[in-house]
Amino acid sequence: MQLGLIGLGKMGGNMRERIRRAGHEVIGYDTNPEVADVESVQGLVDALEAPRVVWVMVPAGEVTQSVIDDLGERLSPGDLVIDGGNSRFSDDQPHAEELGSRGIGFVDCGVSGGIWGLENGYGLMCGGSSEDVAKAMPIFDALRPEGPREEGFVHAGEVGAGHYAKMVHNGIEYGLMQAYAEGYELLEKKDIVTDVPGAFKAWSRGTVVRSWLLDLLVAALEENPTLEDVSDYTADSGEGRWTVQEAVEHAVPMPVISAALFARFASRQQASSAMQAVAALRGQFGGHQVMTVAEGEELRDEAAKGTT
């Protein structure tokens, strides 16, 4: 079948290639003319036969909204738009209503697989009507991993359910990554452990903690065993925050995912106001030394050298 694909970055470009390998025609548009197949969104629309299916793979928020608005003006009744980016689930119903008022279908699809998806396939989580999902099933089958459909694809529910499932997926990912990271730090600190990368690699088969994330950490440690010159500054793309917000909204305890999210926030602080307040309080009630910033940095340097 034919597919229009808007957004040909790291994910979108690889998705285009995987779909083409499955024998489908993909017409891609990107603001970077070096990777685009057509010069404009209108050129993409004109190149597709009705009823059209257009997959949007652009950054969440204003960019996605702009593309949805534009497609609503250009597409025709019976066409279908799929939002495969990391949009917040609460944006999906307004998008579906906006397009639906023009007779255009809408499916939200969470996509997992990163830069490895081209070869391994992508995990897909969709929301929308059964009719709209069925229209794009050949594309979903081309993108998902080989094997049983249900092991790489789910029609999770109505509009918004796909991005909601992807949000929770990413929240779980935060917790798993943090657990491996904390294990790494403890192993690295213990003087009797002399092969930290080897310990992680030994967990790759037969253990209950084996996973693809573990394999990726092993690969990272093989490239850089001590993670030399790797900054601890860790960004978040939004899904972890949204997961914790939903947990609060529905009174679902999520101590692990919440802690993992807050650890990312902590990684960005050059100095912690909260810990400054703790130090000041220790000075007030116990007479403990309250160090200057320079004294604290000197102690950090000494600790890094193993002298304290």
Are 213 and 173 in contact by the 8 Å Cβ rule? The answer is yes
Catalytic residue among 62, 73, 146, 166: 166
Catalytic residue among 98, 158, 173, 246: 173
Name every residue whose Cβ is closer than 8 Å to that of residue 214 and which is 6 or more positions away in sequence.
180, 200, 203, 204
Preceding amide of 94 cis, omega within 30: no
Best CA proximity match to 230, nearest among 192, 184, 187, 195: 184
Is residue 146 among the annotated active site residues? no
Is residue 188 among the annotated active site residues? no
DSSP state of 49: P
In angstroms, the CA 50 to CA 37 distance is: 19
Are 110 and 140 in contact by the 8 Å Cβ rule? The answer is no
In angstroms, the CA 273 to CA 265 distance is: 13
Angle between helices 239-249 and 255-267 (to 10 degrees): 140
Q: Which residues are the active-site residues?
A: 166, 173
